[in-house]
Each structure stands twice: as C-alpha cells, then as structure tokens.
Amino acid sequence: MPAATTVLLIRHGQSRGNAERRFGGHTATPLSTRGRKQAEATALTLKSESITAIYSSDLARAMETARPLSRVTGLPVHATSAFRERSVGVMEGLTFEDAAQQHPDQYAALLRRDFEHVLAGGESYRQLLDRARQKLDEIIEENRGGKIAVFSHTGTICILALHLMGALDAPELKPVWIATANCGIARFDLRDVEEGQAHVLIGARTYLVQVGELRPG
C-alpha cells in the first residue's frame, strides 16, 4: 500500500474585509484581531501533524495565517499568486450590499455560481480553476508521500476541493459550492491512480470519493 499524500486546504483567518462584509478578491486586506488569534490557534492544532511543506496565496490575509505554522514547524512559506481568491473585479472592496446595488448583473452572476462568466475587471471560476489546479498538481507531484498545508481562500478552496474529488471533469458543470469557515481545514488523503480513491475529511466527517490520476494536468 503506497503512502498517501495528504493535502490540507486551509482558509485564512477572519480578515478586516470579512468582518465588514466586503468582497476581498485580490485586495490585500489584513487579518482582524480575531483572525490573528484564529491563525495562532490553527498553528497549534497543526503543530503535531508532521507537516512537510507549507504553501500560501501571496495575499496578506493568507500569508498572515500561514506564518504562525511556519514558526512552530520551522518550515518556510512558499507564496504563490496561483492560490489567490477569485478576482471579482469592479466589486472588490465593496460591501455585499453596495456591490448588489452598483453592479447588479455581476453580483447576480456571482450568486448563480456561473462557472464560465468572467466578472467585469475580474475572473471566471474557470480561470480560477486553471491557475489553481495547475499549481496544486505540481505541488502534489513534488511532495508525494508528504503532508502539505495550503493556505488559501473560500472560493479557491471550493474549486480545489471539487478538483481533487474529480467533480470538475464533466464537460457541463453545475453550480456546486463547498463553504469553508475562517481557518476551516479540508483534509485530503490521496493515493496513486491504481487505488483510485481519496479519503476526504471536512470538519468532523470523512468521505470516501473516487479521484483521478494524481499528476500535473
């Protein structure tokens, strides 16, 4: 039985934007006081997990969340723009209410989880998938048999989780959303394609799902 490669997808702590109910996107919003406490608690929780590598979105709120784990493990944080949140373009920095009033069409497309729609000045979920999964597949290949912590954002984690479960392979995609709380952790234990399965731990429940081949693609 080959050793599993474990991927921990970890959402950043509460940001100031989260606290104010604003769209973050690519905005460099820092953590709130509560978010910093959440980051420290997450590091203590993962301290005994034998993490072998730490990766993070290069946005401030994700990097701030990753650093406490880096301190307790002695591992560097590998920052990458590939794990950024989806850019919401003209809605970035706006409160949810202001975005709905000022950009009703873009806001409605976001609520529909329209996978192919490119937000004005921003990205589509398809574009998010392309950049994030390519990087994740590379990381998995480089760290086979290890335990990888990836700090990212709710939209990106949703897309990456669906990718790891093989749910984004169909030619026509239906809107599916996996919500992640601040500093929520989704655990994936991945084995080679011969095994064809992954154990997925989200919260306190474990799911056995079929997955595709674990190689860059």
Q: What is the 3-state secondary structure (H, E, C) of 35-83?
A: HHHHHHHHHHHHHHHCCCEEEEECCHHHHHHHHHHHHHHCCCEEEEHHH
For the chain, first and last CA: distance in Å? 24
Q: Is 153 a catalytic residue?
A: no
CA distance linking residue 39 with residue 30, whole number of Å: 12
Select which of 40, 64, 85, 123 is catalytic. 85
Q: Characterize 201-215 residue by residue with b for buried, 16 or more Cβ atoms within 10 angstroms of its Cβ, and e for exposed.
A: ebeeeeeeeebeebe
Give, in degrees to the nearest 5, the angle at Cα 88 between 68 and 120.
160
Query: Up-side HSE of residue 199: CA atoms within 13 Å toward CB?
Result: 9
Phi–psi pair at 28, nearest 5 degrees: -85, 60
Q: CB-based burial of residue 114 (10 Å sphere; 0-12 exposed, 13-18 middle, 19+ buried)?
A: middle
Q: Is 12 a catalytic residue?
A: yes
Is the separation of the CB atoms in 29 and 94 below 8 Å?
A: no
Determine if residue 193 is left, alpha or beta; phi over 0 gives left, psi from -120 to 50 gives alpha, anything else beta. Answer: alpha
Annotated catalytic residues are: 12, 85
